């Protein structure tokens, strides 16, 4: 099978039971995507599948054949960060940082569909992503800020 991973074609041969999370972390060594609950309870493994946020722990790898997958490693880079990554840093929206990649990908899916979300819309989009440090107020601010940055740049 072949997927487009962070903009590049990648060939893989996952076993039938392997999840997209297994493929990313264990086969491809892309460790930015986190394994926490491994059963769709926490959102730490959120990635974009054809631009839509999915729990990679509940997504079978073989089902991604021919599809576009984007992970935290492909959201932006240190040199050219995504506005969300800038906003998360500026608003202190990561304490331990372990849930942060999942939070960022969930927010990226939201902002790709709606660059002017209300707080209720942000909360609805982000409530599938747990944070045990309790960074939610700052994550909310960061998503608002990133949305404003996106609207300004028209990106």
Residue ranges binding another protein (CB under 8 A):
18, 22, 26, 29, 31-42, 44, 71-73, 75-78, 81, 84-86, 88-90, 92, 94-101, 104, 122-124, 126-140
**Is the distance from CB of 2 to CB of 66 less than 8 angstroms?**
yes
Beta strands in the chain (DSSP E): 2-5, 8-11, 46-49, 52-55, 68-70
CB of 64 to another protein, least distance (A): 18
Residues in Cβ contact with 52 at an 8 Å cutoff, skipping those fewer than 6 apart: 109
Phi and psi (nearest 5°) for 10? -135, 130
Q: Which is nearer to another protein, 68 or 121 (CB)?
A: 121
Q: Which is nearer to another protein, 66 or 120 (CB)?
A: 120
H/E segment holding residue 138? helix 136-153
Other Cβ atoms less than 10 A from the Cβ of 36: the count is: 16
CB of 40 to another protein, least distance (A): 8
Which residues are registered as beta bridge partners of 46? Answer: 55
Q: Which is nearer to another protein, 64 or 135 (CB)?
A: 135
Q: Which is nearer to another protein, 115 or 136 (CB)?
A: 136
CB of 137 to another protein, least distance (A): 5
Q: Which is nearer to another protein, 8 or 66 (CB)?
A: 8
Which residues are registered as beta bridge partners of 36? Answer: none
Phi and psi (nearest 5°) for 132? -80, -20
CB of 1 to another protein, least distance (A): 18
CB of 41 to another protein, least distance (A): 4
């Amino acid at each position: 099978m072949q997927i487009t991973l962070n903009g590049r074609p990648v060939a893989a041969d996952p076993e039938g039971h392997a999840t997209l999370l297994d493929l990313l972390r264990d086969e491809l060594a892309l460790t930015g995507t986190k394994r926490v609950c491994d059963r769709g309870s926490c959102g730490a493994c959120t990635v974009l599948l054809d631009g839509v946020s999915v729990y990679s722990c509940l997504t079978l790898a073989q089902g991604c054949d021919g599809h576009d997958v984007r992970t935290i490693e492909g959201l932006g880079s240190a040199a050219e960060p995504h506005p969300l990554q800038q906003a998360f840093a500026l608003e202190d929206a990561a304490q331990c940082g372990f849930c942060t990649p999942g939070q960022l990908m969930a927010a990226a899916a939201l902002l790709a569909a709606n660059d002017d979300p209300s707080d209720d819309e942000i909360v609805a989009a982000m409530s599938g992503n747990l944070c045990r440090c309790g960074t939610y107020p700052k994550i909310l601010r960061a998503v608002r800020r990133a949305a404003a940055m996106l609207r300004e740049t028209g990106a």
